Amino acid sequence: MSFVTPLTVAWFYVPGLLTALGEGMVGDGYKDLVNIDISSVVIEAMQKKYQERPELKYIKMDVRDMSDFESGSFDAVIDKGTLDSLMCGHNAQQNATKMLEEVGRILKDKGIYILITYGAPNFRLSLLREPHLWTIKLHLIEKLGSEARSRPTWELTNPIPLDDDGSLVTSTLGENPDVHYTYVCIKDSSLRMQ
């Protein structure tokens, strides 16, 4: 799938992690990068820092209720750390489900949700598959400073095989691999009909 700028992209992330990526995307011609965070302090700081970059928008919002956005208004959502944060909190399953329902709602059909997480497939696949909304591919990114191991490695551009419960990945990589899991979830409205 190839993309033509401008795309409308929503970002959910732990502040500071994707700042350089957002700046790079603006440099590549992306016109509408919407960054949301539940903290007004974070939003105000980012608005001030990037006031000269009108392509970068910062909005205070809860990812579990994005009713300010119309359905189907985004081409992509990038999440680095937000779902992980919800999974560590009170009512984790319920809050994560609400967030994923909202992500599915605001994405256009064939829109992409990119989840960069520490959560292995045996912990994330059931959550991602619950709304019956996504075609899911998994990519691995080795953590910086990780040592080479005697295990298979994959190129970032090639997805690795997934089974129903994620156990194939765990049995191949071991219990504590030194990787970030990148789930590329493509919204497919026809899956809801099945």
What was the pLDDT predicted at 4? 42
Annotated domain spans of the chain: 8-193
Strand ranges (E), the chain:
8-13, 32-37, 56-60, 74-80, 107-117, 134-142, 179-187
Close Cβ partners of 113 (under 8 Å, ≥ 6 residues apart):
76, 77, 79, 103, 104, 107, 134, 183, 184, 185, 187
Please give the CATH number for the structural domain made up of 8-193: 3.40.50.150
Q: What is the mean pLDDT of residues 152-172?
A: 72
Name residue 111's beta-bridge partners: none
pLDDT digits (tens, 9 = 90+) for 14-71: 555 556 677 788 888 888 888 888 889 988 998 999 899 888 888 999 999 999 999 9
Beta strand 107-117 pairing with 179-187: antiparallel
Report in angstroms the alpha-carbon separations of 155 from 63, 125, 158, 160: 31, 21, 5, 9
Q: What is the mean pLDDT of residues 101-116?
A: 94
Q: Which helix (H) or strand (E) holds 71?
A: none
* C-alpha–C-alpha distance, residues 92 and 24, integer Å: 33
